[in-house]
Amino acid sequence: MTAAAIPAVAIPVGANPFSRRAVLAIVLIGVLLFVALLWMIGTGNGIGSTNDGQAHAGGKGLNGYAAMADYLERRGFPVRKAKNEGALDKPGLLVLTPPAHADGEAIEKIVSARRYTGATMVITPKWMAAPPAREQTGAKKGWVRIVGAMGPNWPGFLDDVSVSIEPVGKEGSPARWHGMGLTGTLPAREQVLSGKGDRLAPLVAGPDGRILAALLDDGGHYPMLEDLAVEPMQTEIEDEDLYPLIIVFEPDLLDNYGMASLESARLAEKLVRASGIGAGEPVIFDMTLNGFGQTDNLLTLAFTPPFLAATLCLLLAALIVGWRAFLRFGPPLASARAIAFGKRALVANAGSFLRRSGRLHLMAGPYSDRARERLARGLGLPRHLDTAHAEAAIDRALASRDPDAEPFSMIVARLRQARKPHDLLKAARDLHALERMLAR
Distances (CA, A) of 175 to 55, 62, 169, 247: 22, 18, 6, 20
pLDDT at residue 335 in the model: 67
Is the CA virtual torsion 352, 356, 359, 364 positive or negative? Answer: positive
User: DSSP states of 404-424 as a string?
Assistant: TSPPHHHHHHHHHH--SHHHH
CB atoms within 10 A of CB 211: 24
The model's confidence at residue 1, banded by pLDDT at 50, 70 and 90, is: very low
Instruction: Determine the 3-state secondary structure of 63 from DSSP.
Output: coil
Domain borders along the chain are 49-132+142-295, 342-439
Alpha-carbon span 14 to 177, nearest angstrom = 80
pLDDT at residue 17 in the model: 65
The model's confidence at residue 53, banded by pLDDT at 50, 70 and 90, is: confident
Alpha-carbon span 361 to 307, nearest angstrom = 51
Q: What does the pLDDT look like over 403-426, one tens digit per residue? A: 888 888 888 888 888 888 788 888
Q: What does the pLDDT look like over 58-103, one tens digit per residue? A: 899 999 999 999 999 999 999 999 887 877 888 899 999 999 999 9
pLDDT at residue 259 in the model: 92
Cα 38 to its chain centre, rounded Å, is: 9
pTM for this prediction: 0.61
- Reply yes or no on domain 49-132+142-295 having CATH 1.10.3430: no
Nearest in space to 276 (alpha carbons), one of 308, 302, 310, 240: 240
The model's confidence at residue 357, banded by pLDDT at 50, 70 and 90, is: confident
* Residue 389 pLDDT exceeds 80: yes
Contact 143, 115 (CB under 8 A): no
Q: What does the pLDDT look like over 3-43, one tens digit per residue? A: 455 555 555 545 566 677 777 788 788 888 887 777 676 65
- The H or E element containing residue 438 is helix 421-439
